[in-house]
Chain A
Amino acid sequence: MGKYTIKVQPKWCKSCGVCVAFCPKQVLVLDDAGKASVQNLEACIGCRLCEIRCSDFAIEVGGENGE
Chain B
Amino acid sequence: MATHVSEYLRLDKMPHIWCPGCGTGIILGAVVRAIAKLGYKRDDVVVVTGIGCSSRTNAIIDFNTFQTTHGRALSFATGFKMARPEMKVIVITGDGDGSGIGGNHLIHTARRNIDITTILVNNGIYGMTGGQYSPLTPRGCIASTAATGTMEPCFDMCELVKAAGATYVARGTAYHATMLEQLIAKALEHHGFSFVEGIAQCPIGFGRRNNQKTPVDMLNWQKDHAITIAAAAKASPEELAGKFLIGEFVNKEAPEFSDVYWEASRKAQQKVKEAR
Contacts and interface: CB of A to CB of B under 8 A. Distances in A.
B164 interface: no
Nearest to A58: B15
Interface residues of B, number: 28
Nearest to B2: A60
A54 B214 contact: no
Contacts of A54: 25-26, 29
A52 B219 contact: no
A52 B15 contact: no
A55 interface: yes
A52 B14 CA distance: 17
A31 to B, nearest CB: 16
Given A52-B26, A52-B33, A57 B14 contact: yes
Interface string B9-36: 1000011101111111110011001000
Interface string A11-46: 110111110011000000000000000000000000
B175 interface: yes
B47 interface: no
B20 A53 contact: no
Interface residues of A, number: 17
A55 B219 CA distance: 12
A14 B21 CA distance: 8
Contacts of A22: 216, 219
A57 B215 contact: no
A17 B21 contact: yes
Contacts of A60: 1-2, 5
B144 interface: no
Contact of A14 (B20, B33, B181, B214): B20
A55 B2 contact: no
Contacts of B2: 60
A60 B178 CA distance: 15
Contact of B26 (A15, A17, A55, A58): A55
Nearest to A61: B2
A18 B215 contact: yes
Contact of A15 (B20, B22, B219): B20
21 contacts: A11-B15, A14-B15, A14-B19, A14-B21, A16-B20, A16-B214, A16-B215, A17-B215, A18-B21, A21-B216, A22-B216, A22-B219, A52-B30, A53-B219, A55-B20, A55-B26, A55-B215, A56-B20, A57-B5, A57-B25, A57-B29
Interface of A: 11-12, 14-18, 21-22, 52-58, 60
Interface of B: 1-2, 5, 9, 14-16, 18-26, 29-30, 33, 174-175, 177-178, 181, 214-216, 219
